[in-house]
């Protein structure tokens, strides 16, 4: 990202403690204006806490958070121009959909003549006009979700905070809502800060992602960066599946490095800058980057035996036994060429390109 882009939210050395438990360790993060930013991590990693501190429901133990460069931590939630879409939607049960969407505008002191057209515009945005007079409990889950969304967008907050808003929906609806959320963000131009534990959701929608674990921001980057070049094992393990192999750097020259995993298992690859010979490293290899073949006369291929095969529709997943008593997970796409499922016990050869392995210092 461009460094001189407008920063919507900036976390500076933010620490949050609940009693003796530290929920957030020195978080530093810049979220840009008009960005779809995702905080991704397993439950309990502190991502919701970060969001609640921006909304004003939690205070900051140490450090500071800025909204478009201005201090705002001293303001109560109702004085902050950020709005939240809550995980359970929190639509007011005694109000109609219209009244719910109008609520924020009314509280901001808008006059009735301005509220009406804005609410209708919002309801049209998410196709809820026919449901304006319904109570929240007369709506489906997806409709409630959309109502909660526009209720938070209607007052045109500077930043919209979304706390796992899709987690209560079923899979099909969740996928449809992803698209809708992304569109809504682009149409409104509001900065979205999205919290989720669902990596697929994060990869699909976000401009940038911050991966969190145990209160620490592990890596910040675009979806592809996070997936292709995870900074550490935590990120690699959390985003997608990966094979992690312990190895020793045994040969090193300008173009190539060789890593020994077991006595008869040496692979070559790049990524050796800053490494010295005999250094212990970890090799990350995504299952879908490995090609599985039956002929064993390929150059640089690793012989293996299939231990288990699992047919998953679009892919087949194989557990392949390779030299050194290791097991590699391989994903083979059931694509253009129709292939037979390789049964357990088949002798195969595995190959991958040098670029697809990632080296981590251990």
Strands (E), 112-190: 159-163
162/357 with CB nearer another protein: 162
8 A C-beta contact, residue 270 and residue 258:
no
Between 253 and 292, how does the x/- string for binding to another protein read (CB under 8 A)? ----------------------------------------
Instruction: Verify binding: residue 345, another protein, rule CB under 8 A.
Output: no
Q: Rounded CA gap, 92 and 82, in Å?
A: 19
Nearest distance in Å: CB 99, another protein: 9
Instruction: Verify binding: residue 93, another protein, rule CB under 8 A.
Output: yes
Stretch that binds another protein, among 147-155, 273-281, 298-306, 339-347 (CB under 8 A): 147-155
Q: How far is CA 342 from CA 260, 294, 310, in A?
A: 28, 9, 10
How would you classify the pairing of strands 82-85 and 159-163? parallel
Instruction: Verify binding: residue 84, another protein, rule CB under 8 A.
Output: yes
Q: How far is CA 352 from CA 165, 221, 285, 289, 294, in A?
A: 38, 25, 9, 6, 14
Instruction: Verify binding: residue 75, another protein, rule CB under 8 A.
Output: no
Complete edge-to-edge strand list for the sheet that includes strand 70-71: 21-32, 7-18, 62-67, 70-71
Instruction: Verify binding: residue 78, another protein, rule CB under 8 A.
Output: yes
Instruction: Verify binding: residue 134, another protein, rule CB under 8 A.
Output: no
| Site residues (CB under 8 A) for another protein, limited to 97-126 | 103-104, 107-108
Assigned token pair, 357: 């392995």
Instruction: Verify binding: residue 192, another protein, rule CB under 8 A.
Output: no
Nearest distance in Å: CB 83, another protein: 6
- From 353, 348, 329, 361, select the one nearest 267 (Cα to Cα): 353
Instruction: Verify binding: residue 18, another protein, rule CB under 8 A.
Output: no
145/242 with CB nearer another protein: 145
* H or E element, residue 66: strand 62-67
8 A C-beta contact, residue 222 and residue 207:
yes
| Site residues (CB under 8 A) for another protein, limited to 43-72 | 55-57
155/323 with CB nearer another protein: 155
8 A C-beta contact, residue 199 and residue 211:
no
140/351 with CB nearer another protein: 140
8 A C-beta contact, residue 33 and residue 7:
yes
Nearest distance in Å: CB 153, another protein: 11
8 A C-beta contact, residue 270 and residue 257:
yes
β-pair partners for 295? none
- The neighbour count for residue 10, using CB atoms within 10 Å, is 17
Instruction: Verify binding: residue 77, another protein, rule CB under 8 A.
Output: yes
Instruction: Return the residue of 5, 59, 88, 308 that touches another protein, per CB under 8 A.
Output: 88
Nearest distance in Å: CB 309, another protein: 43
Instruction: Return the residue of 137, 224, 253, 314 that touches another protein, per CB under 8 A.
Output: 137
61/307 with CB nearer another protein: 61
What are the residues binding another protein (CB under 8 A)? 55-57, 76-79, 82-84, 86, 88, 90-94, 103-104, 107-108, 137-138, 151-152, 155
């Amino acid at each position: 990202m461009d460094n001189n882009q407008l920063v919507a939210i900036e976390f500076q050395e933010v620490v949050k403690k609940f009693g003796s438990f530290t929920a957030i360790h020195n978080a530093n993060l810049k979220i840009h204006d008009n960005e779809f930013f995702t905080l991704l991590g397993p439950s309990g990693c502190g991502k919701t806490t970060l969001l609640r501190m921006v909304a004003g429901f939690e205070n900051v133990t140490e450090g500071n958070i800025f909204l478009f460069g201005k201090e705002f931590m001293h303001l109560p939630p109702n004085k902050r121009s950020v709005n939240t879409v809550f995980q359970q939607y929190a639509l007011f049960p005694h109000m109609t959909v219209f009244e719910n969407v109008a609520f924020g505008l009314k509280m901001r002191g808008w006059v009735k003549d301005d509220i009406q057209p804005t609410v209708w515009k919002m309801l049209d945005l998410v196709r809820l006009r026919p449901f304006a007079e319904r109570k929240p409990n007369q709506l489906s889950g997806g409709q409630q979700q959309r109502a909660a969304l526009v209720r938070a967008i209607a007052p045109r907050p500077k930043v919209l905070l979304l706390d796992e808003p899709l987690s209560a929906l079923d899979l099909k609806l969740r996928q449809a809502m992803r698209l809708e959320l992304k569109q809504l963000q682009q149409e409104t131009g509001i900065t979205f800060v999205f919290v989720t534990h669902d990596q697929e959701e994060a990869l699909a929608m976000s401009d940038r992602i911050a991966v969190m674990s145990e209160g620490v921001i592990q890596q910040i980057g675009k979806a592809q960066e996070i997936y292709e070049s995870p900074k550490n094992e935590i990120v690699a393990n959390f985003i997608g599946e990966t094979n992690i192999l312990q190895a020793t750097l045994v040969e090193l020259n300008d173009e190539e490095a060789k890593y020994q995993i077991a006595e008869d298992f040496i692979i070559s690859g790049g990524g050796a800058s800053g490494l010295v010979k005999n250094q212990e490293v970890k090799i990350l290899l995504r299952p879908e980057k490995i090609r599985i073949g039956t002929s064993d006369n390929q150059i640089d291929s690793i012989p293996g035996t299939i231990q288990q095969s699992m047919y998953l529709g679009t892919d087949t997943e194989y557990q392949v036994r390779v030299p050194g008593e290791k097991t590699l997970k391989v994903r083979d796409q059931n694509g253009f060429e129709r292939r037979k499922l390789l049964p357990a016990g088949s002798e195969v050869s595995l190959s991958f390109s040098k670029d697809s392995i990632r080296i981590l210092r251990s």
